[in-house]
């Protein structure tokens, strides 16, 4: 399978990474190299094998469904590039 520059553009869009149009052919070529390498997996007989979900056969711990933390607005906003009046600020989302 070969990835066209248009597919590379679609993937970049999905990943929310701006890629200039002139960079797309090189990006598509890199994808092709990597995906070509990955294609080897098609040689493996995986009939009847379940996809691994956990590498250690352990049950994830459950915790009580209670509030254990909170009141940290200042700490949470401290690293924000733009925070105003106790909120994260972003460009206009809805016209």
User: Can you tell me the distance from the alpha carbon of 88 to that of 95, in angstroms, rounded to the nearest whole number?
Assistant: 18
Q: Which residues does 27 contact at the CB level (< 8 Å), separation at least 6?
A: 5, 8, 12, 19
CB 66 within 8 A of CB 53: no
User: Can you tell me the distance from the alpha carbon of 8 to that of 12, in angstroms, rounded to the nearest whole number?
Assistant: 6
CB 8 within 8 A of CB 28: yes
Residue 63 touches other proteins, criterion: CB under 8 A: yes
Residue of 21, 44, 70, 71 that binds other proteins (CB under 8 A): 44
Q: Which single residue is written with the structure tokens 């990955």?
A: 38
Residue 64 touches other proteins, criterion: CB under 8 A: no
Residue of 2, 22, 67, 82 that binds other proteins (CB under 8 A): 82
Residue 65 touches other proteins, criterion: CB under 8 A: no
**Taking the complex as a whole, how short is the minimal distance between the CB of residue 76 and other proteins, in angstroms?**
8
Residues binding other proteins (CB under 8 A): 3, 8, 11-12, 14-19, 27, 30-31, 33-35, 37-44, 46, 49-56, 58, 60-61, 63, 72, 75-76, 78-82, 88, 90-93
């Amino acid at each position: 399978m070969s990835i066209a520059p248009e597919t590379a553009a679609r993937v970049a869009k999905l990943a929310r990474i701006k890629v200039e149009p002139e960079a797309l052919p090189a990006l598509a070529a890199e994808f092709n190299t990597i995906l070509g390498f990955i294609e080897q997996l098609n040689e493996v007989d995986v009939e009847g094998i379940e996809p691994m979900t956990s590498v250690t056969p352990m049950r994830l711990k459950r915790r009580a469904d209670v509030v254990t933390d909170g009141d940290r607005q200042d700490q949470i906003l401290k690293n924000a590039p733009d925070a105003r009046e106790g909120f994260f600020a972003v460009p206009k989302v809805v016209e």
